[in-house]
């Protein structure tokens, strides 16, 4: 998955060992998994050459990072010019995100 | 590595099979490897759940994607609170990017 961090998200991530992001749509700090329980336990953090991107290796609770129930948000693969679902769902979003 | 694509970069990537990006600093289309020869042959393309990010699997010519000579731009790892180089250089940037 790709998500945004601001300084507060980064600080909370370091303090707790659980990935926090900045939700641009909700304009608030977002503990990944706060609704689904699918938290991300940080295993390693890498910084890129121009120091504006982090690569975070996590242990993913529930086995799925994507809110659509897939292990990865990148579950569609380009095949013959069309993006086609190329993974199996780990969970049913309707079961996890109940009203 | 993380880089930006606009529509033209994406079209050229699909047409040529070589990764093209949009350089925000130079404000131009950028064939990755145009200076270094370290082009990226596209092997697979994945689209994320909200369709604003691509994950591109490439065969990396020269074995290094990073202009600093490392296989990955994410060559620094957080260790005891400090980002520390955690990879070996594949090439010397001074040799590859000559004046």
- The pLDDT tens digits of the residues spanning B19-48 come to 999 999 999 999 999 988 999 999 999 999
Size of interface A-B (CB pairs under 8 A): 64
All residue ranges of chain A with pLDDT < 70 are: 99
- Which of B74, B77, B87, B91 should we substitute to test contact with A (largest number of A Cβ atoms within 10 Å)? B74
Closest Cβ opposite residue B73 in set A2, A49, A76: A49
Q: In Å, how far are A17, A50, B16 from B67, measured between CA atoms? A: 31, 10, 22
Interface of B with A in 58-87 (CB under 8 A): 66-68, 70, 72-78, 83, 86
Would you state the structure tokens that stand for residue A18, as one six-digit string? 């659980």
Nearest CA among A8, A11, A5, A50 for reference residue A24: A5
- Rounded to an integer, the average pLDDT of B49-68 is 96
Concatenated DSSP letters of A38-94: --EEEEEEEE-TTSS-EEEEEEEGGG--STTS-SSS--EEEETTEEEE-S--SS-HH
Residues of B whose CB is below 8 A from A58 = none
What pLDDT, on the 0 to 100 scale, is given for residue B79?
A: 96
Residues of A whose CB is below 8 A from B70 = 49
What pLDDT, on the 0 to 100 scale, is given for residue B48?
A: 98
Instruction: Give the whole-angstrom CA distance, residue B69 versus residue B45.
Output: 24
Residues of B whose CB is below 8 A from A1 = 48
What pLDDT, on the 0 to 100 scale, is given for residue A80?
A: 94
Closest Cβ opposite residue A45 in set B66, B75, B77: B77
Q: Which ipTM score applies to this complex?
A: 0.92
What's the mean per-residue pLDDT of chain B?
95
- The answer, as to whether pTM is greater than 0.90, is yes
For tokens 């390693």, name the residue.
Answer: A44
* pLDDT higher than threshold 90 for residue B80: yes
């Amino acid at each position: 998955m790709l998500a945004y961090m601001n300084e507060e998200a980064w600080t909370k991530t370091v303090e707790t060992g659980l990935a926090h992001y900045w939700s641009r749509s909700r304009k608030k700090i977002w503990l990944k998994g706060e609704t689904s329980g699918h938290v991300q336990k940080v295993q390693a953090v890498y910084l890129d050459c121009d120091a504006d991107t982090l690569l975070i290796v996590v242990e993913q609770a529930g086995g799925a990072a994507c809110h659509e129930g897939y292990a990865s948000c990148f579950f569609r693969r380009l095949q013959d010019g069309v993006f086609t679902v190329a993974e199996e769902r780990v969970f049913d979003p309707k079961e996890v995100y109940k009203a």
